[in-house]
């Protein structure tokens, strides 16, 4: 099951732990006025680790908490680092018989600030520069700099912990490090590690990073238990005689404090006082009972938290037969479910259509007068064929009769304010004038220049009905294929809208929320209607679906992303892979008129009562990968990789060999003649015919921005297309994926097209 909420909650808990973990250590250092045993190198490494981590979180546009967390880590690490020097004492122990005082030296406050502040400024400057540079790299689709930042941060954090291992080896004890600090940091690793398993895609790098640091902390705990806790237990329960023996054996006047610190299970060094030992022991004994109880409670609490997390994770992802997908039990409402379309008319096929479902589901078709007759005929001979004139809402930019349906001009009754200073209405007004003077559709050249809406969406109604029957129509639901939308400046959140091409769903609850207007206590409206409220944005935004998403966001109806159920590809371009195989398919985008009619008739014979139509079923329509070679054919427009120049590929055969040598390559495309480019893909698709084309040369401009004309003797360059499929490898890939489970994915805006 895709549970982004669980991932967010666990990830945020981890971030909180990493924001506060050093506070107990700082408090312990302050109360003791001593940081002996705490490694300053560790704190400095952690301070630097916050720099690349902050860059990564900010450039990736994580939430505000995750952006602030690395800055807090750096700040607290610098405070702890300077404490190590401020409280440092160079203690020269003089024999008590000489009765000389101890000499102590430590840094002043002024010196400490003089050292730490410039370091903080340098770190801030480096981070700011890296953020600017990596944002540019991200805009160029370069991912490796961000991966480098994450890896560098993890390496510095791990290196910091490893410095304590050297101190443990050197002194055969764990010194100076707070128990609460270690526990909170380890808990942060656990929360973050578990959150990775709730993500849609498993982040192996994240698992390695969090698991490595958690294991290192477990090692510190183990060393503390072996070198510190066990000797303390033996001494504690070994009797007073044993204690006296130990005390007499200490000859260098330095001993290990036998009581457990108020925040640590690890002992710390202190100078043995020459007098007042009995009273000291009495005070220590009292503190011991309190600290012992506190330590037990802290350990028990941490173990309980870890246990509950592991149980929760195991219940979701363990070997209990629980799927990560929704186990919808759906049935087809078509009667009969399956019918052979051969020799059947549209009326015969539509007789099986479950029209009773239209009492709760309202199909809507958006078209434009400029749509070609071929597209209109295909739409009403396939997707919209079974709807009566009162069952389908047809919205257009001109009121007219289309295939016995009355199209509604949704622009006709808009307020007059829409027509002022709005260039988008030029075509619409031009179209109205041509209709009035009788030249619309007569002057074909002028009509063709009118750019209106385009109709190119196909809906698998059986799957759509199965899907929609699992939702409450009164809940505010907005569902589709996610596309990045307007940035919410107030909340500093990127919003999403449903791409209009594959279609989208609005529930009754969402429509109500969208149309609600604020009123006074007397019932008078204080807000304009929705058509006027979003007019400024309609003028500036390119796309109506984007404005729709923003309007819904502002009434607390965010998009629920259901890609790949809502599919942005045409039928011939579906990139069959694990992302497009065992999932139900609900829509297609930009399919050709012929494909729409053909797949509509084909679909009637494919339906099953208890199983929706999957992408693996749609594969059977075109059978991509059954043929090995296709001339003048392009199968490489999506999910492709271009072979690097060092591969030295100069022919179609060499391109095929390069693909075969790559274990995950399934198809290839050779772009020959003057281009000589080998394109490979981990998915396989049908593709489409593509004749040789002239290569468009880029414009060359001078220093002033003027286009430099090409030399008169420059020859045109051409490219042709030849495609190949590794048929045996594709057959093996298909045989390994039987789709015994229907992958009804959950809502997500991280799993996007």
Measured distance CA(332)–CA(334) in Å, rounded: 6
Confidence of residue 199 (pLDDT cuts 50, 70, 90): low
DSSP element (H, E) containing 359: none
- As a whole number, mean pLDDT of residues 232-255 equals 54
Indicate the DSSP class of residue 667: E
DSSP sequence for 513-524? HHH---B-TTS-
Q: How far is CA 80 from CA 21, 27, 53, 77, 184, in A?
A: 11, 10, 19, 5, 16
Poorest-confidence range of 260-274, 342-356, 383-397, 633-647? 260-274
Nearest of 466, 472, 473, 482 to residue 558 by alpha carbon: 482
The confidence score (pLDDT) of residue 308 equals 44
SS3 for 610?
coil
Q: Which two tokens stand for residue 449?
A: 């220049």
Q: Is the pLDDT of residue 573 over 90?
A: yes
* pLDDT per residue as tens digits for the range 312-331: 444 443 333 344 578 778 99
Q: Which residue has the higher pLDDT, 437 or 506?
A: 506
The 3-state DSSP class for residue 483 equals strand
What is the average pLDDT across 336-350? 96
Is residue 156 predicted with pLDDT exceeding 50? yes
Which of 583, 545, 589 lies closest to 564, judged by CA? Answer: 583
* Residue that is written with structure tokens 């490893």 in the block: 162
- Asked if pLDDT for residue 10 goes beyond 80, the answer is no
Task: Decide: helix, strand or coil at residue 554.
Answer: coil
As a three-state string, the secondary structure of 374-411 is HHHHHHHCCCCCCCCCCCCEEEECCCEEECCEEEEECC
What are the pLDDT digits (tens) for 88-123? 643 333 343 334 444 445 567 777 788 888 888 999
Residue 733 predicted with pLDDT over 60: yes
According to the model, what pLDDT value does residue 551 have? Answer: 93
Sign of CA dihedral 603, 604, 606, 611: positive
Helix (H, G, I), strand (E, B) or coil at 288: helix
pLDDT exceeds cutoff 60 at 185: yes
Query: What φ, ψ does residue 400 adopt, rounded to 5°?
Result: -160, 170
Residue 528 near residue 464, CB atoms below 8 Å = no
**Rounded-to-integer distance, Cα 257 and Cα 246, Å:** 12
DSSP state of 117: H
- The average pLDDT across 459-478 equals 94
Closest CA to 720 of 651, 673, 660, 686: 673
Which stretch, 56-70, 283-297, 728-742, has highest mean pLDDT? 728-742
Residue 233 has φ and ψ, to the nearest 5°, of -65, -45
So what's the pLDDT on residue 473? Answer: 92
CA dist 195 and 313 (Å) reads 9
For 65-75, how does the pLDDT look when each residue is reduced to its tens digit (9 = 90+)? Answer: 667 878 888 88
Torsional class of 488: left (φ above 0), alpha (ψ -120 to 50), beta (otherwise): beta
Can you tell me the mean pLDDT for 321-344?
84
Instruction: Report the b/e string of 428-466 with b at 16+ CB within 10 A.
Output: beebbebeeeeebeeeeeebeebebeebbbbbbbbbbbb
Backbone angles phi, psi at 588, to 5 degrees: -130, 155
Q: Which residue has the higher pLDDT, 199 or 20?
A: 20
Give the pLDDT score at 325. Answer: 78
Task: Name residues whose C-beta falls within 8 Å of residue 464's C-beta, 6 or more positions apart in sequence.
Answer: 586, 587
Range name among 299-308, 489-498, 557-566 with the lowest pLDDT average: 299-308
Strand pairing partners for 680?
641, 668
Mean pLDDT (the chain, rounded): 80
Q: Is residue 704 scored above 90 in pLDDT?
A: no
Q: Three-class SS string for 296-323?
A: HHHHHHHHHHHHHHHHHHHHHHCCCCCC
Backbone angles phi, psi at 181, to 5 degrees: -60, -50
DSSP string, 247-266: HHH--SSEEE--SPBTTBSS
pLDDT at 233: 76
| CA–CA gap between residue 206 and residue 46 (Å, rounded) | 18
Assess whether pLDDT exceeds 70 at residue 726: yes
- Is the confidence at residue 222, as pLDDT, over 50? yes
pLDDT digits (tens, 9 = 90+) for 530-548: 888 888 787 777 788 999 9
- Count the helices and strands in the chain (H runs, E runs): 24, 24
Q: Is 745 left (phi over 0), alpha (psi -120 to 50) or beta?
A: beta
Between 190-199, 331-340, 357-366, 484-493, the lowest mean confidence (pLDDT) is in 190-199
φ, ψ at 748 (rounded to 5°): -160, 140
Dist CA 394 CA 157 (whole Å): 60
If pLDDT is split at 50, 70 and 90, which confidence band does 201 have? low
Model pLDDT, residue 610: 93
Place of tokens 């270690």: 182
401 DSSP β-pair partners? 406
Rounded to an integer, the average pLDDT of 386-392 is 94
Residues in the chain: 753
Q: What is the mean pLDDT of residues 28-32?
A: 80
Percentage of the chain lying above the pLDDT 70 cut? 79
- Of 597, 618, 614, residue with least CA distance to 466: 614
| Residue 104: per-residue pLDDT | 42
Is-above-0.85 flag for pTM?
Answer: no
Question: Does the pLDDT at position 60 exceed 50?
Answer: yes
Residue 409 φ then ψ, to 5°: -80, 100
> 103 pairs with which residues across the strands?
92
C-alpha distances (whole Å) from 132 to each of 137, 138, 210, 492 are 9, 10, 27, 18
What is the Cα 387 distance to its own chain's centre? 39
Structural tokens at position 648: 């030295």
Residues 2-20, mean pLDDT to the nearest whole number:
66
> Is residue 147's pLDDT more than 50?
yes
Q: What is the 3-state secondary structure (H, E, C) of 149-160?
A: HHHHHHHHHHHH
Name, in order, each residue with C-beta under 8 angstroms of 249's C-beta and a sequence gap of 6 or more: none
Confidence of residue 569 (pLDDT cuts 50, 70, 90): very high
Q: Which of 130-134, 201-205, 265-269 has the lowest mean pLDDT?
A: 265-269
Apex 401 CA angle, 395 and 402, nearest 5: 75
Instruction: Report the distance separating Cα 473 and Cα 364, nearest Å.
Output: 16
Measuring CA to CA, which residue among 153, 175, 145, 177 is closest to residue 73?
Answer: 153
| Run of H or E including 226 | none
Q: How many CA atoms, within 13 angstroms, populate the side-chain half-sphere of residue 553?
A: 22
């Amino acid at each position: 099951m895709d549970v982004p909420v669980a991932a967010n909650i666990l990830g945020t808990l981890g971030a909180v732990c990493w924001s506060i973990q050093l506070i107990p250590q700082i408090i312990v250092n302050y109360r003791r006025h001593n940081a002996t045993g705490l490694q300053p190198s560790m704190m400095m490494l952690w301070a630097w680790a916050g720099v690349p981590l902050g860059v990564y979180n900010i450039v990736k546009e994580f939430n505000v908490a995750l952006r602030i967390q690395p800055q807090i880590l750096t700040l607290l690490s610098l405070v702890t680092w300077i404490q190590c020097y401020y409280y440092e004492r160079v203690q020269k122990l003089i024999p008590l018989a000489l009765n000389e005082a101890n000499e102590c030296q430590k840094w002043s406050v002024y010196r400490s600030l003089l050292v730490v502040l410039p370091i903080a400024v340098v770190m801030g400057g480096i981070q700011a520069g890296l953020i600017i540079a990596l944002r540019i790299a991200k805009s160029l689709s370069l991912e490796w700099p961000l991966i480098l930042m994450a890896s560098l941060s993890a390496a510095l954090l791990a290196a910091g912990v490893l410095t304590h291992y050297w101190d443990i080896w050197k002194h055969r004890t764990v010194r100076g490090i707070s128990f609460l600090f270690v526990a909170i940091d380890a808990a942060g690793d656990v929360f973050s590690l578990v959150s990775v398993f709730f993500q849609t895609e498993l982040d192996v790098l994240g698992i390695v990073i969090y698991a490595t640091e958690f294991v290192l902390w477990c090692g510190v705990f183990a060393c503390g238990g072996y070198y510190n806790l066990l000797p303390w237990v033996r001494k504690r329960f070994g009797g007073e005689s044993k204690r006296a023996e130990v005390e007499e054996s200490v000859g260098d006047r330095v001993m290990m404090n036998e009581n457990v610190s108020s925040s640590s299970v690890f002992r710390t060094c202190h100078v043995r006082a020459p007098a007042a030992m009995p009273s000291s022991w009495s005070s220590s004994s009292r503190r011991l009972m309190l600290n012992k109880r506190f330590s037990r409670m802290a350990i028990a609490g941490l173990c309980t938290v870890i246990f509950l997390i592991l149980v929760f994770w195991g219940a979701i992802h363990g070997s209990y037969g629980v799927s990560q997908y929704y186990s919808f039990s759906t049935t087809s409402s078509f009667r009969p479910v399956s019918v052979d379309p051969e020799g059947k008319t549209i009326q015969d096929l539509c007789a099986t259509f479950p029209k009773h479902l239209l009492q709760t589901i309202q199909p809507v078709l958006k078209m434009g007068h400029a749509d070609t007759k071929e597209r209109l005929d295909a739409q009403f001979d396939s997707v919209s064929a079974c709807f009566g004139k009162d069952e389908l809402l047809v919205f257009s930019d001109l009121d007219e009769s289309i295939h016995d349906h009355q199209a509604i001009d949704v622009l006709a009754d808009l307020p007059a304010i829409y027509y002022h200073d709005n260039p988008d209405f030029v075509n619409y007004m031009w179209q109205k004038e041509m209709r009035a003077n009788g030249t619309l559709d007569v002057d074909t050249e002028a009509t063709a220049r009118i750019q209106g809406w385009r109709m190119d969406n196909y809906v698998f109604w059986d799957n759509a009905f199965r899907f929609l029957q699992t939702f409450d129509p009164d809940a505010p639901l907005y569902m589709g294929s996610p596309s990045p939308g307007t940035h919410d400046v107030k909340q500093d959140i990127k919003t999403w809208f449903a791409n209009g091409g594959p279609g989208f769903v609005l529930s009754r609850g969402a429509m109500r929320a969208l149309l609600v207007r604020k009123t006074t206590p007397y019932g008078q409206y204080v807000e304009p209607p929705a058509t006027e409220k979003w007019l400024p944005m309609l003028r500036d935004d390119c796309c109506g679906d984007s404005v729709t998403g923003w309007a819904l966001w502002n009434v607390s109806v965010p998009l629920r992303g259901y890609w790949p159920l809502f599919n942005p590809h045409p039928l011939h371009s579906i990139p069959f892979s694990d992302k497009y195989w065992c999932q139900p398919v609900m829509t297609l985008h930009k399919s050709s008129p012929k494909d729409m009619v053909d797949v509509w008739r084909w679909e009637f014979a494919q339906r099953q009562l208890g199983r929706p139509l999957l992408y693996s079923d749609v594969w059977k329509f075109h059978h991509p990968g059954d043929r090995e070679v296709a001339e003048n054919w392009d199968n490489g427009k999506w999910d492709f990789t271009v072979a690097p120049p060092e591969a030295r590929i100069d022919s179609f055969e060499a391109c095929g060999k390069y693909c075969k040598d790559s274990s995950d390559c399934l198809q290839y495309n050779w772009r020959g003649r003057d281009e000589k480019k080998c394109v490979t893909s981990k998915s396989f698709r049908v593709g489409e015919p593509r004749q040789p084309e002239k290569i468009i040369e880029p414009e060359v401009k001078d220093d002033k921005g003027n286009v430099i004309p090409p030399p008169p003797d420059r020859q045109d360059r051409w490219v042709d297309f030849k495609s190949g499929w590794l048929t045996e490898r594709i057959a093996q890939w298909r045989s390994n994926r039987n789709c015994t489970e229907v992958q009804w994915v959950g809502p997500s805006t991280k799993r996007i097209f």
